[in-house]
Amino acid sequence: MQPRTHTRALALAGALLLATALLAAGLTGCSALSPFNTCDDTATRVEELRSQPILQSAPAGAIVPKDLASVRAGCLDDSGDAWLYAERIYAFPGSRQEVVDFYRTTAKADSWRVQSDPVDLSTPETVAGLCFTKGGDGNALLLTVQFTTAGELKFEHGYEAGPEFDSGSGFEIEVGSETDGAKTGCFD
């Protein structure tokens, strides 16, 4: 009977060790079997985002700042679930309302659907920016237009803005997607 008791004790110790490891993983936000997507094998999808025509569309008079001439694109995997993006930054000598009006019209013409924040309907789009969705499960895209300043560009991108940001509106336009194209909303 001695070997059976020894086996039972080892099984109990193993079960306790496994339970402790799973509990610790859950408390730290880590998991041995991650349900999240990673940036592995996403290069083709990132290139699809980079080539979205809306990234090349800007109101008349908008300029691409020096050193930010290309569309920046990639995959972020720092939150536990990967996110694909392609973005462009513009300086615009006109008003924020002109930017809002331009993208509402241009995005709608390209089948983007504008979404409104159900929690904060009182913040004007000239402050909050715009968010659109397009596509369905498997090819869903998210489009955001956000206003930015020279200080924010320095903080977020390490970019020293030139005189083009002294007046008017700076804005960023980004097309994003889950790695598998799963449907996502602006305010999920």
Q: Which tens digits make up the pLDDT trace of 76-99?
A: 987 778 999 999 999 999 999 999
Is the separation of the CB atoms in 61 and 94 below 8 Å? Answer: yes
The helix (H) or strand (E) run that includes residue 50 is helix 43-50
The helix (H) or strand (E) run that includes residue 25 is helix 2-28
| Pairwise CA distance, residues 184 & 170, whole Å | 26
* 37 vs 11 pLDDT, higher one: 37
How confident is the model over 139-172, as pLDDT tens digits? 999 999 999 888 888 888 788 877 777 777 799 9
| Pairwise CA distance, residues 167 & 52, whole Å | 28
DSSP category for residue 149: -
Contact residues for 85 (Cβ-Cβ < 8 A; gap 6+): 49, 73, 74, 75, 76, 174, 175, 176, 177
Is the separation of the CB atoms in 185 and 140 below 8 Å? Answer: no
The helix (H) or strand (E) run that includes residue 175 is strand 169-178
Q: Is the pTM of this model over 0.85?
A: no
In 3D, which of 98, 129, 106 has the Cα closest to residue 57?
A: 106
